[in-house]
Amino acid sequence: MVDIILKHRHPIGKKEAKALNEGLSISHQMVFSFNFGKVESAEAASLQVYIEQNHIIAIKRKDSYFLSLRGLSKYPPEQGWIQVDMGAVPYICNGADTMSAGINATANSITEGDIVWVRDENNAKPLAVGIALISGEEMLSSNKGKAVKVIHYLSDPIWNLNLSP
């Protein structure tokens, strides 16, 4: 496993809080109101991470903001989810891309390129975050091929990062 080292950790300012709130609103179609000084920012590998109460709650990758799995648990959005059957759960929890065959439901209006979160069918708990490779309709109608490119998942270095003092 690769260890992540946080660099340049600091409380966010007004401009960074505004950018975070707007970026998350675009990705998750809901209103966010993270305040400056209450959330910290740090660099981790090629990512910018946002920390609230010693948990990474959001991530900026390239120009896209999205909630981490801990952020999704705390602030669950009603849109942007992909639901998988329980047979797919162990694979997704280990970082596998989500295949169309395992998807049994999606939120409305998912389009190719959207940031989506993957949940299990029994508990609706977040398992992974990824980028939709096809539309939600195609995910449900297809029985083969990749549907979501996973970029953050349970048991990855970001999930396992311990920020407790």
User: Is residue 158 situated within a structural domain?
Assistant: no
| Tokens found for residue 121 | 């069918």
What is the sign, positive or negative, of the torsion defined by CA atoms of 70, 96, 22, 159?
Answer: positive
Which of 28, 56, 74 is at the close of a domain?
A: 74
Which of 55, 74, 93 is at the close of a domain?
A: 74
What is the pairing mode between strands 81-84 and 115-120?
parallel
For 50-95, how does the pLDDT look when each residue is reduced to its tens digit (9 = 90+)?
999 888 999 998 889 999 999 999 998 888 999 999 999 999 999 9
Host domain of residue 128: 81-153
Q: Residues 158, 44: contact at Cβ < 8 Å?
A: yes
CA distances from 45 to 42, 59, 61, 153, 158 (A): 10, 12, 10, 16, 10
Same domain, 70 and 85: no
Same domain, 94 and 124: yes
Same domain, 42 and 19: yes
For 106-160, how does the pLDDT look when each residue is reduced to its tens digit (9 = 90+)?
987 899 999 999 999 999 999 999 999 999 999 999 889 999 999 999 988 888 7
Which of 26, 41, 74 is at the close of a domain?
A: 74
Is residue 102 over pLDDT 50?
yes
For 6-38, how does the pLDDT look when each residue is reduced to its tens digit (9 = 90+)?
888 899 999 999 999 999 999 888 899 998 889
Helix (H, G, I), strand (E, B), or coil: what is residue 92? Answer: helix
CA distances from 109 to 95, 116, 149 (A): 25, 11, 18
Q: Looking up tokens 């009603």, which residue turns up? A: 78
- The reported pLDDT for the residue numbered 1 is 43
Same domain, 86 and 149: yes
Report the CATH number that the domain containing residue 48 is assigned in CATH: 3.10.450.120
